[in-house]
Chain A
């Protein structure tokens, strides 16, 4: 009996791995295609797509496309801009949205249900509908910088960051997670004398690893992929992010090899971020025993 059960178990495990491997392959093939193509001249790249050679480093392999990409566009600047904007937005959004959710879940105040409902209602408003009003507002906002008070946020980093710091989805994620935390933990902290801020800092946030990771990933992807908004508000190359930078490669002659090289380069921060988060995520689950 025992042998049969354990055989079954082994088979089930094998089947599970087979499915996981299949899914992983499906997801990784476009990436391999991108990476391999970035090493090939355009002519070969296009003919290779007719066979499995598209996924293999064969033929005339070189880094020429990368050099060409750097010559055509300030790739480093674009990546820096995107990483800066995305990183700051993710950080600020985790702080602001978790604080908001904390107030909605743990602090008792008049009208919190109504305000939360309004915030959640923004989830169904597509960005395109508010883009123009937001543009008009941004164009007139004051800013205190090194040059004193200026008016108008167009062509800046803050115009790409501030509008996206607080959003309904992130607040919703935190609210749901906080609601599932045992209420007696919060009460125990109150009885022990913790202030709201101390409860947030010392009890709630250390237990929020899983939702922090989830919210960070979603925010990172949304911000890194920003296209429409920076196209509208940033005309100067100085502040341009990676996705808008892609335009440099869609000129009269499409340089597919360079496009692939550019895409490979701008994928690096995403992978780095993901690996970092995965480690942090596992560490947080291991240390708290709280599962997401």
Chain B
């Protein structure tokens, strides 16, 4: 069990800065998810924590020790890879025991620890099989089991579910949550899938282009995104963004308006926006409703019916398009005019520099 602290962490590849100064504190036992688009540097960051990549600058602390210059095996970490990386020439048992074998652990200890990991992951019956005789989900379990056996302070996962099919992914997600609850270990989990991040994390770190965009609980990120990137990245379907102008600001509210949305008064204390500013309003598709007092009018161009809800793409007067997630199988059709309303207290506002107002 261990806390992990990154301070001013940077990574250069041949002069190009990939990680541009990252500060994160991960508490003991916390499940932290690094999420961000492909290529933003999540894996690089995780691999630096693991000791598989050098740290160009900054300080990495695991437990109470600065581990910048320690090899992976001395960092009290275990890692689960995207490709599982289980050894094809060894049985499941040998795979699970690999770290202990390397460390010359006595056979009794190996057997006990392997048996315990197998019990936790319910794969006692697979121990004598070879990886080629396992399904994708079972291989995934072996990879996780190999991590468990060594009782590391910190578990590192690099997109461990991305090679599984959708149904299995949901199952494994729940199992990982349960595993975290059972073991109480610190876990750092990398994914590009914001749903995985939302469902698994105690704390989410949103990364983009090697910079931390926001750190917070899933609901903090969902309801109070720090900037327009986080707002667009978290939540599905994506948040709608519309250009508006600030018409009035007082101590408790900001009034914005445009031809598309008319006037909207957003409750905001100490807003940083000034009258006349061109800003962006963000409205989640699920916060749009049909009818209501305030009126956003547009023409429906596309309807997707999911059964429990209906997604409607609506083109507004200015030509900007928004998506509304409407309840049930509501009666809308392409070509039809639709009047929508949003909940002003749940809308977000972003300044020209992308930061939340």
Q: A residues engaging B (CB < 8 A)?
A: 182, 184-185, 187-195, 198, 202-203, 206-207, 287-290
Contact = CB atoms under 8 A, between A and B. Distances in A.
Contact of B50 (A191, A194, A287): A191
Contact of B79 (A185, A188, A287): A188
B281 to A, nearest CB: 44
B299 interface: no
B146 interface: yes
Contacts of A194: 73, 98, 102
Contact of B89 (A188, A198, A207): A207
Nearest to B152: A191
Interface in B78-134: 78-79, 81-83, 85-89, 98-99, 101-103, 130-132
A231 B247 CA distance: 99
A192 B89 contact: no
A182 B83 contact: yes
Given A206-B89, A287-B89, A192 B81 contact: no
Given A287-B89, A288-B89, A289-B88, A191 B130 contact: no
B88 A290 contact: yes
Contacts of B146: 188, 192
Nearest to B71: A190
Interface residues of B, number: 27
Contacts of A288: 88-89
A273 B85 CA distance: 34
B1 interface: no
B81 A187 contact: yes
A191 B72 contact: yes
Given A188-B79, A191-B79, A289-B132, A207 B73 contact: no
B98 A189 contact: yes
A190 B85 CA distance: 12
Given A187-B52, A288-B88, A289-B130, A192 B102 contact: yes
Given A182-B85, A202-B98, 11 more contacts: A188-B81, A190-B52, A190-B72, A191-B77, A192-B146, A194-B73, A194-B98, A203-B87, A207-B88, A287-B130, A290-B88
Contacts of B81: 184, 187-188
B52 A191 contact: yes
10 contacts: A184-B82, A189-B87, A189-B102, A191-B52, A191-B79, A192-B102, A194-B73, A194-B102, A207-B89, A289-B132
Contacts of B79: 187-188, 191
Contacts of B141: none
Contacts of B72: 190-191, 193
A195 B50 CA distance: 16
Contact of A192 (B73, B82, B132): B73
